[in-house]
Amino acid sequence: MKQVIRAIGAGMLALGMLGTAGVARADDKVTLGVAIPTADHGFTGGIVWWANKAKADLEKAHPDLKVIVKTAANAPEQANQLQDLVTVNKINALVIFPYESASLTQPVAQVKKKGVYVTVVDRGLTDTSAQDAYVAGDNTAFGKIPAEYLAKALDGKGNIVALRGIPTTLDNERWTAFTGVLKNYPEIKILDGKYANWNRDDAFKVMQDYLTRFKHIDAVWAADDDMAVGVIKAIDQARRNDIKIVFGGAGSKGMVKNVMDGAPMIKADVSYSPKFIYDAIKLTAEARLKGDKLPATTIIPSVLITKENAQQFYFPDSPF
């Protein structure tokens, strides 16, 4: 069974109790490569911001640590960057948020074969033997929490439309969790659930279609805060007043601020912050500096964000 750490604090306390991974000794300097996608939408913008913040914070705190951050616009570019990180930068640890799962699996495996300690973040590889550790948000909770909230808010009955991300195992896990909860509420009907690609413009178009086809909608699950922005724009443009709740996801600063301010349709959100790249870099760097390894799997909990706790999830300096 995979070892799952349910809180970062607990994960860090556990590190000192784990055995060495063989690549770095406690007296070695650590050169850690970070490979991430470019900031092509809000969430990846947050990934880039948190990765660079981790570099600044950790290099200041640890003189024996060097962090090199590389961003890639596509999978081939990221694969080439991995080769450079090994041959030019001489990294002995890697934290990678793969641009794609399948096409990056072999390049990452080649890095690991060179003796580099590998932590994969969020988008899992197709072969887990290519990694030493995996860090991600809780995708099951990401789908379960909104479903439970909407079921309660609608008093167990009503019409819901949903906007999914892109066809991935990650999205499937969220969708399965969401629909699994609502199976317990026979008077709640999911009218449709289409992909909107975690994109504002695509979400706007999908929501326009829903508004044309369905004359009464009680709530919307837009499984991403960027998509929720497009959804709200479509609702406002159509001047519909039947929709009471739009539930997004990931805890973007804009949506969290809406929750804090009591925006009419934005009552709550669920956390899935790009900050987990910061946590993954910090956990990996500090483990390798001590010659330790991470648990095989570390899951960052997803949490319901409401007006009562929103302040602790609000990061105004982040682009996301």
The pLDDT of residue 127: 93
User: pLDDT band at residue 166, thresholds of 50, 70 and 90?
Assistant: confident
301 pLDDT above the threshold of 60: yes
Map out the domains of the chain with their CATH numbers. 4-137+273-302 (3.40.50.2300), 139-270 (3.40.50.2300)
The pLDDT of residue 5: 36
Q: Picking from 56-60, 66-70, 275-279, which range would have the lowest pLDDT averaged per residue?
A: 275-279
Which carries the bigger pLDDT value, residue 6 or residue 32?
32
Per-residue pLDDT, averaged over 158-169, amounts to: 90
22 pLDDT above the threshold of 50: no
Residue type, 254: G
User: pLDDT band at residue 94, thresholds of 50, 70 and 90?
Assistant: very high
pLDDT, the chain, mean: 90
Per-residue pLDDT, averaged over 119-136, amounts to: 93
CA-to-CA distance for 204 and 163, rounded, in angstroms? 10
% of the chain surpassing 70 pLDDT:
91
Residue type, 225: D
User: pLDDT band at residue 168, thresholds of 50, 70 and 90?
Assistant: confident
Q: What is the pLDDT of residues 276-287, one digit of tens each?
A: 999 999 999 999
* Sign of the Cα pseudo-torsion (231, 51, 53, 275, in order): positive
Cβ–Cβ < 8 Å for 126, 136:
no
303 pLDDT above the threshold of 50: yes
User: pLDDT band at residue 11, thresholds of 50, 70 and 90?
Assistant: very low
Residue type, 243: I
Contacts of 99 (CB under 8 A, 6+ apart): 37, 72, 74, 75, 77, 78, 123
Per-residue pLDDT, averaged over 169-189, amounts to: 94
27 pLDDT above the threshold of 60: no
The pLDDT of residue 6: 35
Report CA 272 to chain centroid distance, whole Å.
Answer: 5
% of the chain surpassing 90 pLDDT:
78
Instruction: Count other Cβ atoms within 10 Å, centred on residue 258.
Output: 23
Per-residue pLDDT, averaged over 200-224, amounts to: 97
User: pLDDT band at residue 100, thresholds of 50, 70 and 90?
Assistant: confident
Which carries the bigger pLDDT value, residue 10 or residue 101?
101
The pLDDT of residue 117: 98
The pLDDT of residue 10: 38
The pLDDT of residue 160: 98
Q: Picking from 100-104, 112-116, 192-196, 289-293, which range would have the lowest pLDDT averaged per residue?
A: 100-104
Per-residue pLDDT, averaged over 229-258, amounts to: 96
Phi then psi for residue 101, to 5 deg, are -75, -60
pTM (predicted TM-score): 0.75
Q: Minimal CA–CA distance to 146: which of 241, 253, 246?
A: 246
The pLDDT of residue 170: 80
The pLDDT of residue 273: 84
Contacts of 186 (CB under 8 A, 6+ apart): none
Report CA 15 to chain centroid distance, whole Å.
Answer: 23
